[in-house]
Structure formats: structure tokens, C-alpha cells
């Protein structure tokens, strides 16, 4: 049946590291067609024409809309502060929208995206790639099956290297207005994982420090956040981009009524500990390798699963793995944390 369905047509706005990855994966996918690339940098045109022959290039979303080129999905991989306005424009032009994290930098902006999606009857997909990692999916299933019993403590550690190789002068990353902060650009998908698995949080307290990014960013490089889970139990989120030279780890530890577990590795890519009552850890599928950005690395490269989910959902063969309401909730949680600065 899938083979007989028309290809899902994508226009991609923002052709940096992540936008290029989206473009390459869409171009390779049998069920997709890449129809347009949009970026404000005209100097990219020759290189993109070689990499994606026959794909139209535009210097702005307005230029793309005016051209009348038909697509089904608009993928937004631009600086964080542009996500909301571009998503709303895409929805109002009848496109489904894929938004790289975060979907917005303010709760009210995320609400506007959700509202516009409802009004236009279009879908919004948030890119929250941690949900596709086998250990995360396994943890979600454990929670849904009630195997942990009452959760007592949740500890999330995100200790990454983001130095001058990452925060380039004159780039948007690191600016308060366009980037929004470390939790938005670097670790929002870990906040998403917390919310997806354990639900909402309350009674938040936080401390923020700037150890070695004074000349690189306009905000903190490290934070210590404590909270209670609305469903019971407490937790901590400790994060830093001040780690020397390379990423140290991202990990999630759970102490619960029926046992304990830890997902660890540089990118939450393996179950390091699992000791639960009447339970044996099954073999899990391998986790995708980390995203490579030259001199630094990001989280596991799960964009292929996201694009697969978008295609299947648009073709009405599946449902969105990360919807706009959940993306809104992540923005709201981060905003509540940052209000404590």
C-alpha cells in the first residue's frame, strides 16, 4: 500500500548543519521528495545545486511562497527565535510543519503555533530525537507497564563540551535573543524526555553558573535544577556545556519502589544498570551513532526516524511521535526554570 501513495513533498527552511541533514535524508527516502531549499545566504546556492540537482533554492520563505511551488511539509531548521513566525506562516499556507527544537522560546509563542495548527487543520511535529533511542523507548514502556512502582528519585545529568569551536563569533548560537539559553538549544530534548516519561514537574528551584563561557555566550553554561514530579517523587537536572574538549555524558538514573536503573553513555545510548523486581532486561536494538559536527558531537542521529514518522503520519499510516502540545509543554517547563534566574 505504501508504495502506491504519492511521495510527501518537503521544503526545508534553514540549510545549516541540521537543515542539510534533513535535506539529505528526505532526498534519500523513497516516500519523500525534496522540492525546495530556503536560506538567506545566496552563496550556498552553487553548492546546494550540486548536492541536490533539480531542487529549487530560495532566499526567503516569502520568496518560496510567491513562487507557488507546491509542498506538503515545511521543515524549519533556522535560529531558534525564527521558529514560531516561520511555523505559523507555513501552517497558514496549508503546509504541515516540522520544527527543530525548540518549537519556540516563549510559552505564548508555542501556544500560537498550537492554535494556528488547530485552526488550519495541519500537523506540527517537534524534533525530539531522544524519544527514538531504544533505551528511552524501553524506559517509557517500563513506566507505562507500571514495572517501577512509585518513582522516588529521577536524576538527569547532561555534561557536554561546547567551546569556541561551537560558539563561533557572529553566529546566532550563544545570543540571548536568537538562541534563548543552554536548556533551549542544547538540552531541550532531555527536558522532553523527562516530561514524556515522568510527566510534569513542580516546586522548581535552580542555580545557574557561567564558568568558562563569559566570552562565548550571553547566558549560563551550567545549571543545577531540583524539582518534584507532579505524579510523586523528586528529581534533579544537572547540566553543563563547560566540559573540557569533548562530551562527558548524558545520563538518566531512576530510583523507584521496585528497583533502580540507569541509562548512560555520552548520548543516553545504553542501559548501564537495571535491577528490577521480577524483571530481566531484554536485548535492545542498537542506538544510532552521535551526530557529528566536525570538532564536536551532538545527540544520537535519530532524524531518520523523525522523517519516517512525518511521512507515515502525513500519509495517514501513523500518528505524530512528538506533537505541538508536547513541544509547548517543554518550552513552558524551560521557561519556568529560567524564571528563577
pLDDT per residue as tens digits for the range 243-260: 999 999 999 999 999 999
Whole-model pTM: value is 0.92
In what order do the strands lie in the sheet containing 222-229? 201-209, 222-229, 234-240, 151-159, 249-256, 259-264, 270-276
Residue pair 276/194 in contact (Cβ under 8 Å)? The answer is no
* pLDDT (0 to 100) of residue 338: 98
Taking a C-beta distance cutoff of 8 angstroms, is the pair 153, 255 a contact?
A: yes
pLDDT at 248: 94
pLDDT for residue 282: 95
**pLDDT computed for residue 288 by the predictor:** 65
Q: For each of the domains in the chain, give its residue range(s) and CATH number, in order of start.
A: 8-127 (3.40.50.720), 130-299 (3.30.360.10)
Which residues, given as ranges, of the chain have pLDDT below 50? Answer: 1-2, 296, 300
Listing DSSP states for 314-333 in one string gives HTTSS--SSBHHHHHHHHHH
308 close to 156: Cβ distance less than 8 angstroms: no
Spatial separation of the C-alpha atoms in residues 324 and 307, rounded to whole Å: 16
Find the helix or strand (DSSP H, E) in which 112 lies.
helix 107-120
The whole-number pLDDT of residue 130 equals 82
* pLDDT at res. 3: 56
CA distance 238 to 207: 10
- Going from the C-alpha of 190 to that of each of 234, 261, 302, 319, 320, the distances in angstroms are 16, 17, 14, 22, 19
On whether the CB atoms of residues 190 and 237 are closer than 8 A, the answer is yes
Amino acid at each position: 500500500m505504501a508504495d502506491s501513495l504519492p511521495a510527501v513533498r518537503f521544503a526545508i527552511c534553514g540549510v545549516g548543519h541540521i537543515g542539510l541533514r534533513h535535506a539529505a535524508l528526505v532526498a534519500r527516502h523513497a516516500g519523500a521528495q525534496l522540492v525546495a531549499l530556503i536560506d538567506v545566504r545566496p552563496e550556498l546556492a552553487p553548492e546546494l545545486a550540486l548536492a541536490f540537482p533539480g531542487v529549487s533554492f530560495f532566499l526567503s520563505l516569502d520568496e518560496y511562497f510567491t513562487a507557488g511551488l507546491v509542498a506538503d511539509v515545511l521543515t524549519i531548521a533556522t535560529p531558534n527565535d525564527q521558529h514560531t513566525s516561520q511555523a505559523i506562516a507555513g501552517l497558514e499556507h496549508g503546509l504541515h510543519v516540522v520544527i527543530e527544537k525548540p518549537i519556540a522560546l516563549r510559552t505564548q509563542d508555542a501556544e500560537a503555533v498550537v492554535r494556528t495548527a488547530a485552526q488550519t487543520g495541519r500537523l506540527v511535529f517537534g524534533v525530539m530525537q531522544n524519544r527514538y533511542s531504544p533505551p528511552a523507548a524501553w524506559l517509557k514502556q517500563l513506566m507505562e507497564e507500571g514495572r517501577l512502582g512509585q518513582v522516588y528519585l529521577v536524576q538527569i545529568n547532561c555534561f557536554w563540551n561546547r567551546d569556541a569551536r561551537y560558539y563561533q563569533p557572529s553566529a546566532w548560537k550563544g545570543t540571548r535573543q536568537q538562541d534563548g539559553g543552554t536548556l533551549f538549544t542544547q538540552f531541550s530534548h532531555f527536558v522532553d524526555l523527562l516530561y514524556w516519561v515522568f510527566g510534569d514537574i513542580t516546586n522548581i528551584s535552580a542555580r545557574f553558573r557561567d564558568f568558562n563561557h563569559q566570552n562565548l555566550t550571553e547566558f549560563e553554561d551550567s545549571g543545577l535544577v531540583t524539582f518534584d514530579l507532579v505524579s510523586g517523587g523528586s528529581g534533579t537536572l544537572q547540566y553543563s556545556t563547560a566540559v573540557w574538549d569533548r562530551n562527558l555524558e548524558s545520563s538518566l538514573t531512576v530510583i523507584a519502589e521496585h528497583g533502580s536503573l540507569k541509562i548512560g553513555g555520552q548520548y543516553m545510548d545504553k542501559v548501564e544498570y537495571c535491577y528490577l523486581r521480577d524483571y530481566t532486561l531484554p536485548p535492545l536494538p542498537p542506538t544510532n551513532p552521535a551526530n557529528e559536527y566536525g570538532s564536536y558531537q551532538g545527540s544520537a542521529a535519530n532524524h531518520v526516524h523523525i522523517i519516517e514518522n512525518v511521512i507515515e503520519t502525513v500519509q495517514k499510516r501513523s500518528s505524530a511521535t512528538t506533537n505541538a502540545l508536547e513541544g509547548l509543554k517543554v518550552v513552558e517547563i524551560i521557561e519556568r526554570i529560567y524564571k528563577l534566574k
